[in-house]
C-alpha cells in the first residue's frame, strides 16, 4: 500500500509539471519570444516628451528680515560714547555711537592753516594787482600829457616851417619827437595788456587753489561728522559689536539694523549646483499644514567650505508666525536651459531600474520590451538618453505582473 501511495504521488507531480510546461509553451511564440496579455484599463500610458529637465534638490534655509543694513565705520577712531544698546529699536538719524580721532583733528587744523595762507596770498595778489593798474594808469597819463604837448609843438612848427620862420632841422626834431611819443604810447598800451593778463592768470590760479583748499577742508570736516554713527534707516539694532575705549579701523563692520517689513530666506547650497541655480528658480516648502512657494532673488558667487549662499523671496504672502532664524526645508527646482527627452517618473522604475521600457507600436495594441539608457532623475521626471524618441508611447504603470515578457498584447 505504501508503495502504491508513492506511485500516485509521483504521478500527480508529473501531471502538474506537464500542465505547467504546457502553459509556458502556450505563452511563447515559435521564435522563443514571451508574450503576455493585459487589459488596457489596467495600465497607464504616457508619451515621451521634450522639455527642460527640472532637478529638485533639498536645501535648508533660515528666515531673515527682508532688508538688512550693515553699519560700518567710514572713519577709524576710538569709541567714546555708545548711545543705544543692541536689540533696541532705532529711528532714522538717531545717534548710535561716537568715535574720536586725534589725527583727523590735527589734519583739520593743518588744512585750516593752509586755507588761511591761500586766502592771504589771494588778497595780497589782488591788492598788488590794483596798485599795478594804478601805476599803469599814471604812466599812461604821463605819456598822454607829453604826447599832447609835443603834438601842439609839432603842429605849430609845421606851420612855421611852411612860412620859413624856422629851420628845417628844428621842424624835423619836433616831428621825430612827436612820432616817438606816439610809438611809445602804443608800446606802453601793449605792455600793459600783457602784464594785466599775466597778473590776472596768477589771481585765477590763486582763486582755484583757495577753492581746492576750501573743498579739502569741507571734506575733512565731513569725515569728522562721520565719527558720529547714526541710524541710516529705522528698524531694530540687532547687533552692535563695540566696546567703549576700543579702536575701530576704517571700513570695519560695527553692527546691523534689521527692517521687519518683510522676510527673506537665506539658504546654503553645495557648490556643484552653482552653475545650475538661476534667478527666479522656484522652490516650495510646507509650513503649518500648507505649501508655500519661494523663488531665487539673489545668488552670492563666493564659495566658502564648498558651499555658496542664495537669497529667496516669498511668492505671494509669507506664512504667518515666522521668526528670525527659523529653519525651512525647501524643495528647490533647478531648470536646465537645454531641452531633454523626458518621461514621467512612475512605478515602472521599480521593476526595471530604468534599463528597459514597454514601448507601444503604432497600432497601440502591442508593447515591445525596449532597452533604454536613462540620465538624471527627479521626483517628477526621468531623462531618457537613448532607446526611444519624442512622441513614443510607453507603459509607465507597474511591470510586476508582466512576468518580464518580451512583448505585451493590449486588449
How many domains, the chain? 3
* Of the residues 279, 305, 337, the one at which a domain ends: 337
CA angle 150, 155, 159 (to 5 degrees): 145
Asked if 38 and 70 sit in the same domain, the reply is no
Give the domain-ending residue among 337, 371, 402: 337
Q: Are residues 37 and 117 in the same domain?
A: no
User: Residues 294, 257: one domain?
Assistant: yes
pLDDT attached to residue 288:
86
What residues pair up with 377 in beta bridges, in sequence order? 382
Q: Are residues 141 and 156 in the same domain?
A: yes
φ/ψ of 217, rounded to 5, equals -65, -40
- Name the pairing type of β-strands 381-386 and 327-344: antiparallel
Distance CA 213, CA 115 (A): 5
Domain that holds residue 354: 29-44+346-410
Q: For 180-201, what is each residue's pLDDT tens digit?
A: 888 988 888 888 888 888 888 8
Task: Give me the CATH number covering residue 402.
Answer: 2.40.420
In a domain, 2, yes or no: no
168 shares a domain with 67: no
Domain boundary among 337, 362, 385: 337
Query: Tell me, what's the pLDDT at 2?
Result: 37
Is the residue at 19 inside a domain?
no
Q: Do 259 and 333 sit in the same domain of this protein? A: yes
Whether residues 112 and 175 fall in one domain: yes
pLDDT at 328: 93
Predicted pLDDT at 82 = 92
Reading the block at residue 300, the C-alpha cell is: 552670492
Residue 14 located in a structural domain = no
Q: What is the pTM of this model?
A: 0.51
Q: Domain containing 84 — which CATH number?
A: 2.40.30.170
Whole-number pLDDT of residue 32: 67
Q: Which three-class secondary structure state does DSSP give residue 322?
A: coil
pLDDT at 25 exceeding the cut of 70: no
Per-residue pLDDT tens digits for 54-102: 888 899 999 988 888 899 888 889 999 999 998 889 999 999 999 999 8
Question: pLDDT tens-digit profile of 363-389?
Answer: 999 999 999 999 988 888 899 999 999
Amino acid at each position: 500500500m505504501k508503495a502504491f501511495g508513492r506511485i500516485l504521488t509521483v504521478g500527480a507531480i508529473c501531471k502538474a509539471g506537464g500542465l505547467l510546461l504546457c502553459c509556458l509553451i502556450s505563452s511563447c511564440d515559435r521564435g522563443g519570444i514571451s508574450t503576455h496579455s493585459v487589459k488596457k484599463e489596467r495600465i497607464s500610458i504616457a508619451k515621451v516628451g521634450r522639455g527642460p529637465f527640472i532637478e529638485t534638490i533639498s536645501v535648508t534655509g533660515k528666515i531673515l528680515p527682508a532688508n538688512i543694513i550693515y553699519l560700518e565705520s567710514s572713519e577709524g577712531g576710538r569709541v567714546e560714547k555708545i548711545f543705544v544698546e543692541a536689540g533696541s529699536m532705532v529711528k532714522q538719524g538717531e545717534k548710535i555711537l561716537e568715535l574720536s580721532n586725534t589725527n583727523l583733528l590735527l589734519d583739520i587744523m593743518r588744512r585750516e592753516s593752509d586755507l588761511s595762507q591761500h586766502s592771504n596770498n589771494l588778497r595780497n595778489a589782488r591788492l598788488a594787482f590794483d596798485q599795478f593798474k594804478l601805476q599803469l594808469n599814471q604812466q599812461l597819463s604821463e605819456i598822454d600829457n607829453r604826447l599832447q604837448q609835443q603834438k601842439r609843438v609839432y603842429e605849430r612848427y609845421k606851420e612855421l616851417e611852411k612860412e620859413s620862420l624856422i629851420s628845417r632841422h628844428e621842424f624835423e626834431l619836433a616831428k621825430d619827437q612827436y612820432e616817438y611819443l606816439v610809438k611809445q604810447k602804443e608800446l606802453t598800451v601793449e605792455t600793459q595788456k600783457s602784464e594785466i593778463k599775466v597778473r590776472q592768470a596768477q589771481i585765477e590760479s590763486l582763486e582755484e587753489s583757495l577753492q581746492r583748499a576750501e573743498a579739502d577742508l569741507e571734506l575733512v570736516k565731513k569725515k569728522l561728522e562721520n565719527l558720529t554713527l547714526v541710524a541710516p534707516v529705522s528698524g531694530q539694532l540687532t547687533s552692535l559689536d563695540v566696546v567703549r575705549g576700543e579702536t575701530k579701523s576704517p571700513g570695519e563692520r560695527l553692527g546691523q539694523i534689521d527692517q521687519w517689513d518683510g522676510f527673506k530666506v537665506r539658504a546654503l547650497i553645495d557648490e556643484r549646483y552653482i552653475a545650475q541655480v538661476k534667478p527666479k528658480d522656484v522652490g516650495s516648502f510646507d509650513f503649518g499644514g500648507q505649501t508655500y512657494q519661494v523663488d531665487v532673488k539673489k545668488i552670492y558667487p563666493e564659495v566658502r567650505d564648498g558651499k555658496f549662499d542664495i537669497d529667496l523671496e516669498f511668492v505671494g504672502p509669507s506664512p504667518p508666525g515666522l521668526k528670525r532664524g527659523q529653519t525651512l526645508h525647501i524643495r528647490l527646482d533647478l531648470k536646465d536651459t537645454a531641452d531633454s527627452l523626458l518621461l514621467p517618473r512612475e512605478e515602472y522604475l521599480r521593476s526595471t531600474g530604468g534599463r528597459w521600457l514597454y514601448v507601444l507600436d503604432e497600432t497601440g495594441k502591442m508593447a515591445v520590451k525596449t532597452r533604454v539608457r536613462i540620465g538624471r532623475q527627479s521626483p517628477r521626471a526621468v531623462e531618457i538618453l537613448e532607446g526611444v524618441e519624442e512622441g513614443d508611447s510607453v507603459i509607465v504603470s507597474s511591470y510586476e505582473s508582466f512576468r518580464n515578457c518580451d512583448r505585451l498584447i493590449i486588449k
